[in-house]
Amino acid sequence: MDGMSLVEMMNALVPITRFNKGEANRIFEEVESTGIKIVVKNNKPACILISPEKYEKLMEMFSDSILYAEAEKRMAANDDRETISHKALLDELGISEADLAAVDVDIE
């Protein structure tokens, strides 16, 4: 994730036996400080623990990639005959640039 080095990846590994030994709280603290732990069972990754912040960031990136793919698809299918200029749209709707400037809009 984010270009982890081999050392960081090795430090992120957590044998599942640590959970069996009652070290869950310590592991969760490590996740909080490092952002990620890879739980290993029988020498294979069983699950990945990530901080809520990192999860939120990943979900946002995933959502953005879906939106980007949709935008790319729409741009590829765009027929320029169906588009009109910004000015032509304003004229068609009877809106002036001054009308737009007077509107207070917050865009995220």
Give the separation between CA 106 and CA 108, rounded to whole angstroms: 7
Q: What is the largest CA-CA distance in the chain?
A: 72
Please write the tens of the pLDDT for every residue from 39-67.
999 989 999 999 998 899 999 999 999 99
Determine the straight-line distance between the first and last CA of the chain, rounded to whole angstroms: 26
Residues 6+ away with beta carbon under 8 Å from 11: 34
Q: What is the mean pLDDT of the chain?
A: 88
* pTM (predicted TM-score): 0.58
Q: What is the 3-state secondary structure (H, E, C) of 68-107?
A: HHHHHHHHHHCCHHHCCCHHHHHHHHCCCHHHHHCCCCCC
User: At 1, is the pLDDT very low, low, confident or very high (cuts 50, 70, 90)?
Assistant: very low
Helix (H, G, I), strand (E, B) or coil at 55: helix
